């Protein structure tokens, strides 16, 4: 192996980037460097011994021949082949060695980020990540299969995925009548049934039954994420099952309005993980191997702009499914804006009569005929208490309302010239149609 590296480095003076991929997920990565001595000091090889001979003879054609065949076929047929693999264990004799001869097990003291951190996190969740295929037809004409991803979140066969993967969104009609085909990482295939789906949040639950044990993924907390945290996107992009990509959290509360969506406000996790068609419904995982989000979409015209539904929001949706079979969303008809010191200072500068507050929620608009309008809300009101509890964000209001529909709620607002008014609003169930 060392002879191979020395021979090739002597032929070229500049190595840009070489990636050799083989079965069993083994990889050799050589970084760009002009100094041969430095290159030898930075190269890390981890290749099972039985694969070395075949790998060296085939690696130059892997990228061009194999991928071009796969995707040229896909472009002609409209279907992407399902390429499943299982990661084989690396023999214990094939340890990772640095050029200095030291042997490392990839771990870092004190829980620091190590060379195996991402791989270990992916290994915890990987067996529970599934491929979901849904037969599609358009007015009786077969149009192939819809492909997506999902995560087994309970050993009883409960699978978390995206609603747009399993529910008709685009005018095509599913010929499966709520039935989907689920393929596990180990190759087992099951017929699944769509149990619940919420279009607004784009979250759905699929159920499969198995006589043998099923793997399950652990759910984490998205509220603990910070911009810059490492995360992993897993799923089946373009039907390439068991694909893992990594990146960082770019934003923990990207508003749906920032993305041009209208209607009820939603928040997403923004990451720079590479996701593509087929990743929808797959898990976003933290480095502890916990699911912290559900991958849902990306910006087509840009790289590194991917979005996921936070798992904390997903858990609330699942609770609605268990309690009511659907998500109940109370509606007030109020547009709200969280206030901070800078916004308050700006509003006071524009209008000296603006209420003297240091926190709260501004109501800039009231929908005519809505519950808020009937309760007596005025544009410019600042909500400071909701159902007897101090509030300073829309999240708190939504949390307090829960699924209370038809239940009177007392709201304390402060108006111009510091006038305090107590209003009683009765939420209605939202009839939003995404």
Confirm whether 280 is a catalytic residue.
yes
Q: What does the pLDDT read at residue 432?
A: 59
Q: Which of the four pLDDT bands, split at 50, 70 and 90, describes residue 30?
A: very low
pLDDT tens across 353-389, in order? 999 999 999 999 999 999 999 999 999 999 999 999 9
Residue 434 has pLDDT above 60, yes or no: no
Residue 130 phi, psi (nearest 5): -125, 160
Q: Is the pLDDT of residue 46 over 80?
A: no
Active-site pick, 149, 201, 222, 280: 280
Cα gap 332→366, rounded to integer Å: 9
Burial of 402 (0-12, 13-18, 19+ CB in 10 A): middle
Say whether pLDDT at 107 is over 80. Answer: no
Report which of 232, 198, 202 is spatially closest to residue 306, judged by C-alpha positions. Answer: 232
The proportion of the chain whose per-residue pLDDT surpasses 90, expressed as a percent, equals 58
pLDDT for 159 equals: 98
pLDDT bin (cut points 50, 70, 90) of residue 138 is: low
In tens, the pLDDT along 286-328 reads 999 999 999 999 988 888 899 999 999 999 999 999 998 999 9
- H helices then E strands: how many in the chain? 10, 27
**Per annotation, catalytic residue among 149, 176, 198, 202:** 202
pLDDT at 346: 95
- Measured CA to CA in angstroms, residue 219 lies from 154, 308, 353 at distances of 10, 14, 48
What value does the mean pLDDT take over residues 257-272?
86
Spatial contact of 133 and 180, defined as CB atoms under 8 Å apart: yes
Predicted local distance difference test score (pLDDT) of residue 117: 94
Question: Is pLDDT above 60 for 240?
Answer: yes
Spatial distance between the Cα atoms of 353 and 47, rounded to a whole number of angstroms: 72
In sequence order, the β-bridge partners of residue 411 are: 386, 423
Q: What is the pLDDT of residue 178?
A: 77
Backbone dihedral region of 79: left (phi > 0), alpha (psi from -120 to 50 degrees) or beta?
beta
378 is catalytic: no
Paired tokens of 301: 């015209």
pLDDT exceeds cutoff 50 at 342: yes
Q: 420 or 176, which is more confident?
A: 420
Which pLDDT tens digit goes with each residue over 170-223? Answer: 544 444 567 899 999 999 999 999 999 998 899 999 999 999 889 999 999 999
Per mean pLDDT, which range of 63-72, 133-142, 189-198, 317-326 is the poorest?
63-72
pLDDT of residue 68: 34
> What is the pLDDT of the chain when averaged over all its residues?
77
* Model confidence at 24: pLDDT above 60: no
Q: What DSSP string describes 175-213?
A: TTTTEEEEE-TTS-EEEEEEEEEETTTTEEEEE---SS-
Spatial separation of the C-alpha atoms in residues 230 and 285, rounded to whole Å: 9
If DSSP codes are grouped into helix, strand and coil, which group holds residue 134? Answer: strand
The CA-CA-CA angle for residues 69, 71, 73, to 5°, reads 70
> For residues 166 and 175, is the Cβ–Cβ distance under 8 A?
no
Q: Which of 26, 149, 164, 308 is catalytic?
A: 164
Would residue 164 show up in a list of annotated catalytic residues for this protein?
A: yes
CA 253: distance to chain centroid?
Answer: 13
Predicted local confidence at residue 61, as pLDDT = 34
pTM above 0.75, yes or no: no
What six digits make up the tokens of 256? 């749906």
- Nearest of 48, 52, 53, 43 to residue 95 by alpha carbon: 48
């Amino acid at each position: 192996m060392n002879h191979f590296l020395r021979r090739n480095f002597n032929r070229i003076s500049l190595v840009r980037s070489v990636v050799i991929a083989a079965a069993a997920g083994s990889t050799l990565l050589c970084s760009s460097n002009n100094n041969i001595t430095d290159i030898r000091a930075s190269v890390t090889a981890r290749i099972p011994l039985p694969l070395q001979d075949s790998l060296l003879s085939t690696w130059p054609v892997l990228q061009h021949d194999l991928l071009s065949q796969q995707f040229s076929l896909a472009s002609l047929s409209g279907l992407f082949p399902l390429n499943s693999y299982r990661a084989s264990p690396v023999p214990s004799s094939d340890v990772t060695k640095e050029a200095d001869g030291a042997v490392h097990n990839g771990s870092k003291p004190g829980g620091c980020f190590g060379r195996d951190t991402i791989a270990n996190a992916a290994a915890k969740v990987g067996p529970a990540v599934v491929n979901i295929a849904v037969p599609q037809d358009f007015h009786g004409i077969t149009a192939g299969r819809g492909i997506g991803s999902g995560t087994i979140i309970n050993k009883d066969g409960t699978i978390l995925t995206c609603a747009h993967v399993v529910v008709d969104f685009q005018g095509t009609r599913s010929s499966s009548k709520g039935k989907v085909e689920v393929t596990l990482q180990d190759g087992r295939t099951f017929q699944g049934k769509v149990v619940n789906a919420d279009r607004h949040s784009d979250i759905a639950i699929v159920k499969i039954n198995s006589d043998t044990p099923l793997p399950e993924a652990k759910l984490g907390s998205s509220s603990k994420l910070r911009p810059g945290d490492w995360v992993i996107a897993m799923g089946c992009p373009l039907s390439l099952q068991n694909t893992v990509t990594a990146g960082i959290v770019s934003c923990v509360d990207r508003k749906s309005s920032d993305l041009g969506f209208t209607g009820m406000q939603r928040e997403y996790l923004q990451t720079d993980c590479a996701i593509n068609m087929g990743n929808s419904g797959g898990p976003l995982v933290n480095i502890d191997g916990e699911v912290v989000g559900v991958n849902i979409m990306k910006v087509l015209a840009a790289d590194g702009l991917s979005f996921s539904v936070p798992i904390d929001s997903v858990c609330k949706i699942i609770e609605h499914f268990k309690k009511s079979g659907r998500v109940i969303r109370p509606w007030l008809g109020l547009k709200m804006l969280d206030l901070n010191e800078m916004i308050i200072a700006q509003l006071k500068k524009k209008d000296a009569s603006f209420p003297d507050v240091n926190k709260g929620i501004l109501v800039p608009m009231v929908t005519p005929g809505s519950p808020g309008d009937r309760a007596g809300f005025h544009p410019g009101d600042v909500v400071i208490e909701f159902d007897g509890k101090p509030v300073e964000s829309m999240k708190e209001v939504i949390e307090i309302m829960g699924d209370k529909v038809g239940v009177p709620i007392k709201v304390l607002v402060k108006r111009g010239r510091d006038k305090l008014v107590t209003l009683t609003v009765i939420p209605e169930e939202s009839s939003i149609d995404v």
